[in-house]
Amino acid sequence: MHTSPPRVILLHLAFTLLIFCSAGCDFIDYHPYAGNLEFKNLTAQNVAKIKALEEKYASQPSFQIAFISDTQGFFEETADMVKDVNRRNVAFVLHGGDLTNYAFTDEFERMHRALAKLQAPYVTVIGNHDCLGDGDKIYLKMYGPLDHSFTFLQNKFILLNTNYLEFFDGSVPDVNWLERELQNAPANVVNTFVLSHIAPHNFEANPNKKQAVADLMRKYDVRLSLHGHTHGYRDEQPFDDGIRYVSAASANKRSYVLITVTGDQATYQKIDF
Amino acid sequence: MKTPATLFFIALSLLFPLLTNAQDSPVKADRPKNSWYAPDYVVMQHAGLIGILAAGVGYDFGRHDRTNAEFLYGFTPNYGIKHTNHTFTSRIYYQSHPKPLYGDYKISWLKTGLGISMTIGGQFETFFPKHYPEGYYIWPTATRLLPFVGSSIGREFTGKKRPLFAEFYTEIGTADVLVVDKMRNKGISVPDILNLALGLRLKL
């Protein structure tokens, strides 16, 4: 009985591949920050799905948004949160950043697989952990621009990168871009929401731009300023100017925020799951 | 001045290798060594968090040369979205004694060890700069500890032609922080944190 030599090696390889493929076949990792991404342009795809819902919601008096944040590594709780959100009739989901702990490619992809179980489309803003290593470049390709905006009916959503310490050159947050976005809102917009990972009054935000951001929020009468990062639910009015700053808890605290938009009003409540 | 007892032990010790050779062949004999500084083999690896392709040199030492130390350089392409990553890795591992498999081929059922990788580039931190609050980030992004287990199939070549032996291996590995995250959260499965590497060792 003679077995040709390469066959021995092929059998060995096939056996190892078999073990791995039974576990999902996602087993070759070149580097923690490898750029060979499975998913690309998720923000544009999900915004397109949200825009497609406008027709359905145009005739309804109100709609709801689930605002979740800081799901980094909390896969068990995120799965429960996704189930809870799916039980409600939300138009879409906003994610306040920190999808990952270390911004590894594999972490981004596993978190997307968990969030893709949401029945509603989700849109994210980048968190400080997502910027680590090559994370900001992975995020840019996998999700989209770090500063971006979209409209839904008479509402504008502005998503702003506020991870000042990771881009430590003073350029973050881009206040000029924020002002242009606030200024250039379509005429029919009655509510503006600004979503950023780190709130301007947080001690880890850019101290040189704290007042500029707060002034813009007041000047353009932003309906809600939405944040993550602190891992706890917060409902604050830090600048005493009538503008509310609402922070969603991290997924492991087993709560998120449900926002109801009716005309030019937005109400919100903490949902425990 | 030799007593019968010492003569007996000398005779036994001379005979012992012959006796064991009869059952176990000369495979457990250490290979002839190169100069102490010259590498014992070259190694190439695909994946395993140290590059799409990593290559380097290795030394074997210890009892029957079953302990190995390797130094590899690996690169990961930029895929048009970032810089190419350059990773330098040191690995140390133990490999079980090769057992006959088919013909001249032998299998080492177990190899297990630890690598430490360092990816260079300004975007990767070994120690986080002072502008971050104390404890803001704990784990470096430049350096990873990479434990692994694997097995290998190889053969020696007779004669003076190089390579003197060739070996193909597969390894299942993970990384320090992935293990920490898995222990912290039940939603992370074991396969989630594992990865597969393939490699080739050649003694020149």
Q: Which backbone phi and psi does B10 adopt, to 5 degrees?
A: -65, -45
Q: Confidence class of residue B8 from pLDDT cuts 50, 70 and 90?
A: very low
What is the Cα–Cα distance from B74 to B108, expressed in whole angstroms? 25
B76–A137 CB contact, under 8 Å: no
| Best CA proximity match to B174, nearest among B148, B144, B139 | B148
What is the Cα–Cα distance from A257 to A267, expressed in whole angstroms? 10
CB-CB neighbors (< 8 A) of A110 in chain B: 188, 192
**pLDDT over 50 at A11, yes or no:** yes
Mutate to test the interface with A, among B192, B193, B200 (most CBs of A within 10 A): B192
Sheet holding A62-68, edge to edge: A122-124, A92-95, A62-68, A255-262, A265-272
Closest-CA residue of B relative to A168 is B131
CB-CB neighbors (< 8 A) of A172 in chain B: none
Question: How far B112 CA lies from chain A's nearest CA (Å)?
Answer: 16
Residue A256, H or E segment: strand A255-262
Q: Confidence class of residue A18 from pLDDT cuts 50, 70 and 90?
A: low
Can you name the residues that pair with B87 across neighbouring β-strands? B74, B119
Amino acid type, B136: Y
Helix (H, G, I), strand (E, B) or coil at B118: strand
Closest-CA residue of B relative to A110 is B192
**pLDDT over 90 at A87, yes or no:** yes
Q: Kindly state the percentage of chain A with pLDDT values over 70.
A: 93
Q: What is the pLDDT of residue B30?
A: 62
Angle at B125 between CA B121 and CA B129, to 5 degrees: 120
Closest-CA residue of B relative to A104 is B141
Q: What is the pLDDT of residue A109?
A: 97
Q: Which backbone phi and psi does A120 adopt, to 5 degrees?
A: -95, 150
Taken in order B181, B182, B184, B186, is the CA torsion positive or negative?
positive
Q: How many CB atoms lie within 10 A of CB B25?
A: 10
CB-CB neighbors (< 8 A) of A35 in chain B: 76-82
Closest-CA residue of B relative to A229 is B136
Question: How far B34 CA lies from chain A's nearest CA (Å)?
Answer: 28
Beta strand pairing status for A224-227 and A191-196?
parallel
What is the Cα–Cα distance from A113 to A209, expressed in whole angstroms? 35
Least CB-CB distance to B82: which of A35, A73, A101?
A35
| Range in A2-11, A108-117, A124-133, A244-253 with the lowest mean pLDDT | A2-11
Angle at B122 between CA B73 and CA B128, to 5 degrees: 110
Mean pLDDT of the residues in chain A: 94
CB-CB neighbors (< 8 A) of A3 in chain B: 102-103
A35–B129 CB contact, under 8 Å: no
Closest-CA residue of A relative to B171 is A16
Q: Write the burial class of residue A272 (CB in 10 Å: 0-12 exposed, 13-18 middle, 19+ buried).
A: exposed
A75–B185 CB contact, under 8 Å: yes
Q: Confidence class of residue B15 from pLDDT cuts 50, 70 and 90?
A: very low
Question: How far B160 CA lies from chain A's nearest CA (Å)?
Answer: 21
CB-CB neighbors (< 8 A) of A77 in chain B: 185, 187
What is the Cα–Cα distance from A82 to A86, expressed in whole angstroms? 6
Taking only the tens place, the pLDDT of each residue in B133-189 is: 999 999 999 999 999 999 999 998 887 778 889 999 999 999 999 999 999 999 999
What is the Cα–Cα distance from B70 to B115, expressed in whole angstroms? 9
Closest-CA residue of B relative to A206 is B131
Q: What is the pLDDT of residue B31?
A: 63
Q: Are B51 and A31 in contact (CB under 8 A)?
A: yes
Q: Confidence class of residue A10 from pLDDT cuts 50, 70 and 90?
A: confident
CB-CB neighbors (< 8 A) of B142 in chain A: 133
CB-CB neighbors (< 8 A) of B79 in chain A: 34-37
Q: What is the pLDDT of residue A98?
A: 98
B50–A74 CB contact, under 8 Å: no
Question: How far B186 CA lies from chain A's nearest CA (Å)?
Answer: 6
Q: Confidence class of residue A17 from pLDDT cuts 50, 70 and 90?
A: low
Q: What is Dmax (Cα atoms) for chain B?
A: 80
Q: What is the pLDDT of residue B11?
A: 47
B52–A9 CB contact, under 8 Å: no
Angle at A22 between CA A16 and CA A26, to 5 degrees: 80
Q: Are A182 and A192 in contact (CB under 8 A)?
A: yes
Q: What is Dmax (Cα atoms) for chain A?
A: 87
Q: Which backbone phi and psi does B192 adopt, to 5 degrees?
A: -55, -35
Taking only the tens place, the pLDDT of each residue in B18-71 is: 433 434 444 455 666 677 788 999 999 999 999 999 999 999 988 888 999 999
DSSP B25: G
**pLDDT over 60 at A263, yes or no:** yes
Would you state the structure tokens that stand for residue B58, as one six-digit string? 């290795």
Amino acid type, A262: T
Closest-CA residue of B relative to A203 is B133
Q: In chain A, which ranges are continuous DSSP H helix? A: 5-21, 42-52, 54-58, 75-86, 105-115, 135-142, 175-183, 210-219
Q: In chain B, which ranges are continuous DSSP H helix? A: 4-24, 176-184, 190-193
Mean pLDDT of the residues in chain B: 86
Would you state the structure tokens that stand for residue B16, as one six-digit string? 């012992």
Closest-CA residue of B relative to A167 is B123
| Range in A139-153, A188-202, B124-138 with the lowest mean pLDDT | B124-138
What is the Cα–Cα distance from A232 to A247, expressed in whole angstroms? 7
Burial string for A38-63 (b: 16+ CB within 10 Å, else e) reads eeeebbeebbeebeebeeebeeeeeb
**pLDDT over 60 at B118, yes or no:** yes
Taken in order A179, A49, A107, A71, is the CA torsion positive or negative?
positive
What is the Cα–Cα distance from B135 to A20, expressed in whole angstroms? 36
State the average pLDDT over residues A19-43. Answer: 83
What is the Cα–Cα distance from B68 to B174, expressed in whole angstroms? 19
CB-CB neighbors (< 8 A) of A75 in chain B: 185, 187-188
Q: What is the pLDDT of residue A266?
A: 98
**pLDDT over 90 at B4, yes or no:** no
Taking only the tens place, the pLDDT of each residue in A214-230 is: 999 999 999 999 999 99
CB pairs under 8 A between A and B: 134
| Best CA proximity match to A147, nearest among A116, A176, A113 | A176
Q: Are A256 and A234 in contact (CB under 8 A)?
A: no
Q: How far apart are the first and last CA of chain A?
A: 63
**pLDDT over 80 at A70, yes or no:** yes
CB-CB neighbors (< 8 A) of B123 in chain A: 133-134
**Half-sphere exposure of residue B103, counting CA atoms within 13 Å on the CB side?**
15
State the average pLDDT over residues A77-84. Answer: 98
| Best CA proximity match to A126, nearest among A177, A164, A154, A156 | A164
Q: Kindly state the percentage of chain B with pLDDT values over 70.
A: 84
B168–A74 CB contact, under 8 Å: no
Taking only the tens place, the pLDDT of each residue in A155-184 is: 999 999 999 999 999 999 999 999 999 999
A76–B186 CB contact, under 8 Å: yes
**pLDDT over 80 at A52, yes or no:** yes
Least CB-CB distance to B124: which of A28, A74, A133?
A133
